[in-house]
């Protein structure tokens, strides 16, 4: 049995703390400069990839093709787009190979995921980030695509997009925000759609201000479950000074609470500038679970102590009308007005 003296223990802990400080400083210093993709134009080719789950029917592919053609684009499918291994759209190597091929292909101007699902984090070590840096393109998707769009941004500095996937409902609201962000290069002001109906008091598209105020910083985040699963990896985003945005679907409330605790314990909340919460669709206590905290209480517990602007109910996540959110772009949030404003165009 090895005996550790007080002096050796003190030296060890001081050295470990020093290494942690140096490591954090190096990680911060190693952050690549912001890199903007070229804006998309009518006639451009969009490469379709499936970094996560398989699609089991033909119709979703048909809908995706028709949607992109209606937007004015040509379409190219990844070699393994329709592959399947278990629940995944092919092996990890196949899914990563399609992403790598689309970045390297000079005939492809943008990359869009057909769907989300699960498994995107499995292929992150196989992505060619040097190629993505050399060939910056619009990379878009949401839900499980949180893994890929954050990893690419962290490794390359490329602004990526939390945006509808191919099988999403591309309604007027979602199309206008996608076009404004990635085609028109507009400094977008993201505000929820106006309420519908003739109710005396609006009942839909509401925002809830947890703590008022404005804040500026790079926009970082995505699906809470996926982001929490990335904690501790080299693909983990840099949260210092960031505006964190989160959404989720089909999670029991105790799991939402646990995943937020993971982000807190991993240091993600330590130096945030602000928080924007989107839709937490079908996130419930679960059958017979009557003693759980409410979603409001979970958010209050984790975000109220931060002392930064926070609002909930923003129009992104697993809902029909979606913002296109540029991961890594400097933005300004206003928690009282319920808005996010780009501080510069998201594309070049």
* Calpha distance 238→166 (Å, rounded): 28
* Calpha distance 175→164 (Å, rounded): 9
pLDDT of residue 327: 98
Percentage of the chain beyond pLDDT 90 is 86
Q: What is the pLDDT of residues 118-151, one digit of tens each?
A: 999 999 999 999 999 999 999 999 999 999 999 9
- Does residue 213 share a domain with residue 169? no
- Does residue 219 share a domain with residue 154? no
- Does residue 168 share a domain with residue 223? no
pLDDT of residue 7: 43
- Does residue 259 share a domain with residue 137? no
We report the CATH number of the domain holding residue 82 as: 3.40.50.10740
In a domain, 13, yes or no: no
Helix (H, G, I), strand (E, B) or coil at 67: helix
In a domain, 282, yes or no: yes
**Contact predicate 190/341, CB 8 Å:** yes
Helix (H, G, I), strand (E, B) or coil at 31: coil
Q: What is the pLDDT of residues 184-197, one digit of tens each?
A: 999 999 999 998 88
In a domain, 103, yes or no: yes
Mean pLDDT rounded to a whole number for the chain: 92
In a domain, 295, yes or no: yes
- Does residue 63 share a domain with residue 173? yes
In a domain, 10, yes or no: no
Q: Is 153 a catalytic residue?
A: no
Better-scored residue on pLDDT, 19 or 243: 243
Number of domains comprising the chain: 2
- Does residue 222 share a domain with residue 284? yes
Determine which one of 80, 153, 162, 318 is catalytic.
318
- Does residue 277 share a domain with residue 176? no
- Does residue 228 share a domain with residue 172? no
Q: What is the pLDDT of residues 196-225, one digit of tens each?
A: 888 899 889 999 999 999 999 999 999 999
Percentage of the chain beyond pLDDT 70 is 91
pLDDT of residue 10: 42
**Contact predicate 66/26, CB 8 Å:** no
Q: Is 318 a catalytic residue?
A: yes
Of 94, 79, 68, which is closest to residue 167 (Cα–Cα)? 68
In a domain, 11, yes or no: no
pLDDT of residue 199: 87
pLDDT of residue 288: 66
**Contact predicate 138/109, CB 8 Å:** yes
Domain boundary among 148, 182, 216: 182
Q: Is 80 a catalytic residue?
A: no
- Does residue 173 share a domain with residue 61? yes
In a domain, 12, yes or no: no
pLDDT at 27 exceeding the cut of 70: no
pLDDT of residue 195: 86
The model's confidence at residue 234, banded by pLDDT at 50, 70 and 90, is very high
In a domain, 348, yes or no: no
Tokens of 264: 């807190």
- Does residue 337 share a domain with residue 259? yes
* Calpha distance 125→95 (Å, rounded): 12
Rounded to an integer, the average pLDDT of 305-328 is 98
Tokens of 229: 């699963």
The model's confidence at residue 339, banded by pLDDT at 50, 70 and 90, is very high
Question: What residues contact 251, with CB distance under 8 A and at least 6 apart?
Answer: 224, 225, 259, 280, 283
The model's confidence at residue 22, banded by pLDDT at 50, 70 and 90, is very low
Q: What is the pLDDT of residues 261-304, one digit of tens each?
A: 999 999 999 999 999 999 999 999 987 666 889 999 999 999 99
- Does residue 318 share a domain with residue 284? yes
Domain that includes residue 238, residue range: 189-195+205-342
Determine which one of 143, 168, 174, 315 is catalytic.
143
Domain boundary among 151, 182, 213: 182
- Does residue 52 share a domain with residue 169? yes
We report the CATH number of the domain holding residue 236 as: 3.50.30.60
The model's confidence at residue 15, banded by pLDDT at 50, 70 and 90, is very low
């Amino acid at each position: 049995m090895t005996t550790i003296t007080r002096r050796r223990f003190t030296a060890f802990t001081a050295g470990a703390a020093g290494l942690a400080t140096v490591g954090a400083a190096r990680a911060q210093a190693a952050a690549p400069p912001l890199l903007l993709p070229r804006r998309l134009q009518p006639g451009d080719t969009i490469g379709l990839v499936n970094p996560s789950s398989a699609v089991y029917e033909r119709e979703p592919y048909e809908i995706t093709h028709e949607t992109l053609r209606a937007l004015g684009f040509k379409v190219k499918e990844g070699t393994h787009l329709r592959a399947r291994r278990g629940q995944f759209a092919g092996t990890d190597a196949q899914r990563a190979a399609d992403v790598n091929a689309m970045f390297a292909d000079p005939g492809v101007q943008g990359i869009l995921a057909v769907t989300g699902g699960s498994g995107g984090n499995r292929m992150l070590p196989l992505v060619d980030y040097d190629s993505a840096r050399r060939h910056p393109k619009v990379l878009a998707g949401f839900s499980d695509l949180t893994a890929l769009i954050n990893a690419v941004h962290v490794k390359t500095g490329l602004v990526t997009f939390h945006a509808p996937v191919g099988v999403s409902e591309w309604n007027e609201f979602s199309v206008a925000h996608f076009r404004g962000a990635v085609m028109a290069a507009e400094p977008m002001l993201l505000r929820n759609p106006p309420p519908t109906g003739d109710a005396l008091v609006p009942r839909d598209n509401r925002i809830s201000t947890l703590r008022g105020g404005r804040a500026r910083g790079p926009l970082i985040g995505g699906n809470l479950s996926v982001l929490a699963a990335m904690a501790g990896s080299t693909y983990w985003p840099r949260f210092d000074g960031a505006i964190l945005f989160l959404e989720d679907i089909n999670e029991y409330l105790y799991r939402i609470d646990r995943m937020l605790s993971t982000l807190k314990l991993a240091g993600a909340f330590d130096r945030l500038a602000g928080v924007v919460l989107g839709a937490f669709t079908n996130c419930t206590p679960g059958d017979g679970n009557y003693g759980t905290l409410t979603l409001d209480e979970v958010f209050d517990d984790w975000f109220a102590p931060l002392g930064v602007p926070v609002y909930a109910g923003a129009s992104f996540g697993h809902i029909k009308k979606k913002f296109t959110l540029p991961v890594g772009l400097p933005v300004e949030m206003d928690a009282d007005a319920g808005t996010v404003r780009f501080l510069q165009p998201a594309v070049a």
